[in-house]
Amino acid sequence: MNLAINSRVGVWMMAVGALAALPAVAAEPKIGVVDFQRLAIESPQGKAVMESMRAEFAPRERTLQAQGQAVKAKEDKLQKDGATMSEDQRVRAEKELRDGARDFERAKGEFQDDMNARRNEELSRLQRTIVEEVRSYGKAQGYDLILAQEGVIYNASASDITPAVLSALQARGGSPAAAKPPAAPPAKPPTK
């Protein structure tokens, strides 16, 4: 809690310092606040990133679901038929179940790692696009200071420029560079 308060006070102090550094000629500094999270979610660029991620990872997710169902089916069969199986059959079925479960967990972990890495890469690219647009908008509209809403304790809605920046992003359209996924690596076949 203290860290959050200290960081907010630090942001406030930086804003006050920035205002103090403004030339004395400027009677009223023009300050804006922008909600980066809203821009990332509602902008065409953000929507393109999310759709690209869904398209890229959907096939692997379906494969994982099928692999998980196969493991569950083996487990159910062993539970149902285990009592009537010979010792060799039961041991073989238990080994197949263990191997399948281990392969499934490994594939699930790799999928999560790959998806997290791509998400971070795409969100970083999207953040750069949004920051660039906010800067361009701020310069064009004559803002002296633009703060991220996440670090602001209070702001009047009149200082929220998020809708205007969102309109600028929408006018620019979805960025093909941000939405283009790299070639998907081939699915790794389960090892036995």
Q: Which amino acid is at 163?
A: P
Nearest to 117 by CA among 59, 51, 39, 182: 182
Give the pLDDT of residue 28: 85
Q: What is the pTM of this model?
A: 0.64
Q: What is 21-179's CATH number? A: 3.30.910.20
Alpha helices by DSSP H, listed for 142-181, are 162-172, 176-179
Query: Do 39 and 170 touch, CB atoms closer than 8 A?
Result: no
Amino acid at site 108: K
C-alpha dist (Å) from residue 173 to 137, 155, 158: 16, 29, 26
User: Domain extents for the chain?
Assistant: 21-179
Would you write out the chain's pLDDT as a tens digit for each of its 192 residues? 444 444 454 544 455 555 555 555 546 888 999 999 999 999 999 999 999 999 999 999 999 999 999 999 999 988 998 888 889 998 999 999 999 999 999 999 999 999 999 999 999 999 999 999 999 999 999 999 999 988 886 777 778 898 999 999 999 886 544 444 444 444 444 444
